[in-house]
Amino acid sequence: MRAVFLVVLVLVAGCAERHAGAPEADGQVMPADFAGTVEYANGSVPPPYHFRWRLTFDASTAVVEWRPGYGESTPWRESVDINAEQRTALYGRLRDLGVFGPAEAMDGGMAGGMTYDPGPLGASERGARLLDGVADAVRELVPAEVWDGLKARQDDWSARQPK
C-alpha cells in the first residue's frame, strides 16, 4: 500500500484583481504575486525509508529541501530558476485540481482571500487524489535530474542506516 500525505499546502495566490499584463491560466487570472510552499512526507514507514521534502517557489526560483528519516537532519537543498510560463502552468494545474475553489470542494478551508492552508490532508480517497496531483504539479517545477539526484541520495542514506 502506498502511503502519501501532503503535510502542508500553503499557496499564496494574492488578490483576485487583474493587473495589466498578468499571465492567465485558461481565462482565470494568475495573481502577479503567486508563490507558495508545499511540504510532502511519504507517510509512516520505517526510519530508513522515510523522507520529506519542501518545495518553495516565487516568481523566479524554486527551492527543494529534502530531509531523510525522521530526525532533524540538515536538509539537502537544491535551487533552480523558474520562469513565468512554468508558474502559469503550475497555477493552471492547481486551479484545475480545485485548490483555489470554494472551501467545500476540499478537505480543509480557505483563509485570507486566495490563500489556502488546509493542514494535514489525505484521510479520504478524494483528498489523497488531490494530494497526489498537487505533489506531481509542483515537482514539475524542478528538473527531473534534480529529483533523481535527491532520490539517489535518499537511497544511499537509507542503505547506510540500521534496519
Q: DSSP of 61-104, one letter per residue?
A: EEEEEEEESSS-PPPEEEEEE--HHHHHHHHHHHHHHTTTS-GG
pLDDT for res 97: 86
Query: Average of pLDDT values for 7-20?
Result: 44
pLDDT for res 62: 97
pLDDT for res 16: 40
pLDDT for res 128: 75
Per-residue model confidence as pLDDT tens digits over 65-122? 999 999 867 899 999 999 999 999 999 999 888 887 654 444 444 444 454 445 445 5
Task: Please say if the pLDDT value at position 146 is more than 70.
Answer: yes
Percentage of the chain with pLDDT > 70?
A: 67
Specify the number of domains making up the chain. 1
Question: Which residue range is the domain that position 86 belongs to?
Answer: 5-159
Best CA proximity match to 87, nearest among 11, 146, 144: 11
Residue type, 35: A
pLDDT for res 42: 86
Task: Please say if the pLDDT value at position 1 is more than 50.
Answer: no
Query: Average of pLDDT values for 10-28?
Result: 48
The CA distance from 162 to 49, in Å, is 11
pLDDT for res 22: 47
